[in-house]
Amino acid sequence: MLDALARMALRGRAAIAVVAAILLPVCAWVSRDVFTVLKPGGFRDPDAESTRVDAAVRSFGGSADLVVLHRATAGTIDDIENLTALIAVSAAAAGDPGVERVVGFPSTGAPFLLSKDKTTALTLLTLRGTDPEKRVHAERVKALLSGDDDERARLQASFGGYIELFAAIPETVESDLRRAEALALPLTAVLLLLLFRSVVSAALPLVIGGAAIVLTFAILRLLSLFTEITVFAASLASILGLGLAIDYALFVVARFREERARGRGDTRAVLIALRTAGRAVVFSGATVAVSLLGLLVFPHGVLRSVALGGVAVTAATVVLALTLLPALLSLLAPHLERGRLPFGWSTSDDDHPGAWAHVTRLVARAPAAVAVIVGGALVITAVPFARFEASVADERTLPDDAMARVVKGVIDRDFFPHQTTPVDVVVTFAGDARVPAHLTTLRALSQALAKHPAVARVDGPWSFVAGRSDDEALRLLTSADAATSELISLFMRGPRARLSLTGVARADDPRMLSLVRELRAAPLPPGAVAMAIGGQSAWVLDVRGDLFARAPWMVAFIAVVMFIVLFALFSSVVLPLKALLMNALSLSASFGVIVFVFQDGRFADVLGFTPSGVSEAVVPVLMLAIVFGLSMDYEVLLLSRMKEEWEASGDNARAVEQGVWRTGRLITAAALVFLVVVLCFATSRLLLVKTLTIGMAVAVFLDATLVRALLVPATMHLLGRYNWWAPAWWTTRRRRTDR
């Protein structure tokens, strides 16, 4: 099939180049507004208890989409001039058609909406519509509250909350991607120039990489028409598209030049390059796609969108490498060595084995010692992963100077701490929640919860009748006015009632997680038919539960499919099993590094992040899906060359030596190029992206050095002829097929 594809590309090389020249600008135009449609979230399971409670809280109007801090430029908020100004701007916000509810200090008198020094007031706005519609409403309201008239001049406004986070993440991702691409392309160009020593040869992988970036965003834009695609999928798809495209082009161009150096004609060289390196590209793309498809076992939008976007981009990259690249090779073959440099580092080891041959021979002398030392080092490096503490992305993923993060810090410092991340308790009764019996139950539950050591404050219906006698409080809560009261309706609606528990610590603190577990295990209050627990602490627990429960299924899926693919490629039972083990070791070691650096807070000043003592829950899963496939990239290339030598000579030691010798520089070059790309994306100001890219860089580095250069050849020498063992029925079938 690859021969037929190569001949088609050669015959239609001019047409392919013209189509690409037309199609790529069209793709760029299609993707021009891609970041306006991508979502910042996707970390929730739609069926999780915390998600259902979040929806219930929103139906109460108790969730603040936009949080506004009004700081008095002179005096305190309760000064008559400042209070009058606050009443006026709150009324202006309430009059906007996109605002559903405004809860602030003037209308409630709630002390927790006033800072400790009384210079700042907190106003909570609930907006109408979908998230993109709320974003539009928020921009209009922000402009309304930030005018320069006398009232607004008295109150300096700053904005935070969910919708500000919703706006900040895509904007940060977009600017980070542009910066990363601006860094990656010139640095990669220099590196490729040193590797190929020819301007034209070095330009080909860059052309394929640039085309992959354009196709990536066009694919994401089209996918967004049919399903939810998150901004994090854009980051990862960009890394995959650029990194894989350059790697695949590097493999094919290097093999093409190798065949030309052996005296093959241009047409013959293209055919051989696609039959060998192209085959490795196809199987590498298949392994990357299979790894990414494993993410579909999770219900979280961020993981599913990475899977869909990543598979589409990987497929498009493989197509580029097998069509546009051979067409360009054929067209530019007479000029391929133009712009020749007198210095550089060749990707071919044919004539000068160099260091790789010496390394292979050293490994062959003591394979058992090498396997024990390198394997032991990787296991030790993985040990910190045992302390992995999973959490979810919040304002801490943003840069320190992002307004949403700054506002959250001000609220925790100057107001009642942690009140923006409460634990929500939603109790459903058999009838109207406002009947006296049910209200009495709510009061008893509030009083009991207020005594819990992890609870700093309980807000609920009884919060607004504090200090009154029981009879008067019940009369107020059950009266007709109570049904329409703005404040009480935040906590009671029909048969449901809500209690909001402000904790003593951050949402992912063990004390808060323990509180959620206790509440979920507690018996139902008298008269209640259901009680559900939500909030960010519950969300953290639900994400942890989903990931720990579904990750084994993902691993099993990837392992089984990968085994089948590699078995079909190498006709060996042992090699696929060993490849899976090698990848597991390098991945586990990179997981340990992530915990050691980001969770423990080491090198924070150098890498530019603020330690939080927790790790992003989705990072190991995403790394497993992406890096496992990428590692197979090098595995397939190395073992394919070993298999060529094994089939030619039947000598395992020679196959191992020749395989490492002939692919050592190419794998090192490919890994170096990919590391440059990944580390450019590691300059991201989003902690999630920074953590993931550093983890990917560590995994690729370990895989291309310790694993491929030392551990794989050591185990290949130890296993000898058993490397190539397959059941007799399969061997017989292959012989018949080959005939």
Tens of pLDDT, residues 191-215: 888 877 788 888 888 888 888 888 8
Q: Report residue 611 CA to chain centroid gap.
A: 18
Give the percent of the chain with pLDDT over 70: 93
Residue 484 has pLDDT above 60, yes or no: no
Look at 64 and 328; give whichever has higher pLDDT: 328
Instruction: Classify each residue of 133-171 as buried b or exposed e, where b means 16 or more C-beta atoms within 10 Å of its C-beta.
Output: ebbebbeebbebbeeeeebbebbebbbbbbbbbbbbbbe
In a domain, 412, yes or no: yes
Average pLDDT (460-467) is 77
Q: Which of 65-74, 351-360, 723-732 has the lowest mean pLDDT?
A: 351-360
Q: Is the pLDDT of residue 397 over 80?
A: no
Instruction: Enumerate the H helices of 228-323 as residue ranges.
Output: 231-261, 266-293, 301-322
> Is there a contact between 272 and 264 (Cβ–Cβ < 8 Å)?
yes
For 216-262, what is each residue's pLDDT tens digit? Answer: 888 888 888 888 888 888 888 888 888 888 888 888 888 888 788 77
Mean pLDDT, range 666-672, rounded to an integer: 82
pLDDT confidence tier of residue 152, bands split at 50, 70 and 90: low
Q: Are 125 and 62 in contact (CB under 8 A)?
A: no
Same domain? 251 vs 141: no
Residue 401 counted as domain residue: no
At residue 166, does pLDDT exceed 80?
no
CATH of residue 105's domain is: 3.30.70.1430
Please give the distance of CA 411 from its chain centroid, rounded to a whole number: 28
CB-based contact 700:187 (threshold 8 Å)? no
Residue 618 within a domain: no
Q: In Å, how far are 208, 213, 214 from 23, measured between CA atoms?
A: 14, 13, 10
Report the C-alpha gap between 270 and 3 in whole angstroms: 9
CATH code of the domain in which 319 resides: 1.20.1640.10
Beta-carbon count within 10 A of 669 CB? 23
Last residue in a domain, options 110, 131, 160: 160
Mean per-residue pLDDT, 471-499: 75
Q: Is 474 helix (H, G, I), strand (E, B) or coil?
A: helix
- Does 287 score more than 90 pLDDT? no
Q: Are residues 108 and 179 located together in one domain of the fold?
A: no
pLDDT recorded at residue 733: 65
Please tell me the predicted confidence (pLDDT) of residue 349.
46
Across 49-63, 83-97, 337-351, 500-514, least confident range: 337-351
How are beta strands 615-616 and 390-391 bridged, if at all? parallel
Q: Angle between the 266-293 and 301-322 helix axes, to the nearest 10 degrees? A: 170
pLDDT band at 617 (very low <50, low <70, confident <90, very high): confident
pLDDT of amino acid 149: 66
Mean pLDDT over residues 292-297, rounded? 91
Residue ending a domain, choose from 133, 160, 187:
160
Q: How high is the pLDDT of residue 359?
A: 79
Q: Tell whether 190 is covered by a domain.
A: yes
Query: Among 261, 254, 276, 184, which Cα is nearest to 666's?
Result: 254
Phi-psi category of residue 125: left, alpha or beta, with phi > 0 → left and psi -120 to 50 → alpha: beta
According to the model, what pLDDT value does residue 533 have?
94
Residue 356 has pLDDT above 80, yes or no: no
Given phi > 0 = left and psi -120 to 50 = alpha, else beta, which region is 561? alpha
Which phi and psi (to 5°) does residue 47 adopt? -100, 0
- In 3D space, the residue among 243, 245, 246, 275 whose CA is nearest the CA of residue 259 turns out to be 275
**Token pair 């990194």 is at which residue?**
243
pLDDT, residue 454, reads: 94
Instruction: Check: CB of residue 544 under 8 Å from CB of residue 440.
Output: no
Give a yes or no: residue 576 inside a domain. Answer: no
Going by pLDDT thresholds of 50, 70 and 90, the confidence category of residue 450 is very high
Contact 573, 670 (CB under 8 A): no
Phi then psi dihedrals of residue 416, to 5 deg? -80, 120
Shared domain for 201 and 308, answered yes or no, is: yes
**Minimal CA–CA distance to 539: which of 516, 521, 520, 506?**
516
Which pLDDT band holds residue 655 (cuts at 50, 70, 90)?
confident
Both tokens of 198, joined, read: 């020819």
Range of the domain at 234: 1-30+174-344
Average pLDDT value for residue range 63-84:
85
| Mean of per-residue pLDDT scores for the chain | 84
For the ranges 126-140, 466-480, 599-613, 646-660, the lowest mean pLDDT is seen at: 466-480
Residue 130 shares a structural domain with residue 180: no
Q: Which stretch, 27-36, 431-440, 621-630, 690-699, has highest mean pLDDT? A: 690-699
pLDDT at 737: 58
Check residue 427 and give its pLDDT: 93
Return d(Cα 182, Cα 3) in angstroms, integer: 36
Mean pLDDT, rounded, for 395-414: 83
Same domain for 90 and 22: no
Q: What's the number of domains the chain is made of?
A: 3
Residues 417-426 pLDDT 10s? 888 888 999 9
**What is the DSSP secondary structure assignment for residue 525, as one 8-state letter?**
P
Residues 210 and 190: their CA atoms lie apart, in Å, by 15
The answer to whether 193 and 338 are in contact (CB under 8 A) is no
Closest CA to 96 of 133, 51, 71, 58: 133
Number of other CB atoms surrounding residue 725 within 10 Å:
13
**Distance (Å, whole) CA 297 – CA 188:** 35
pTM of the model: 0.85
Q: Does residue 718 lie within any of the structural domains?
A: no
> Which DSSP state fits 161?
S
Do 412 and 292 lie in a common domain? no
pLDDT at 133: 81
Structure-model confidence comparison of residues 59 and 505, the more confident one: 505
Residue after which a domain boundary falls, among 130, 160, 190: 160
Q: 110 pLDDT exceeds 70?
A: yes
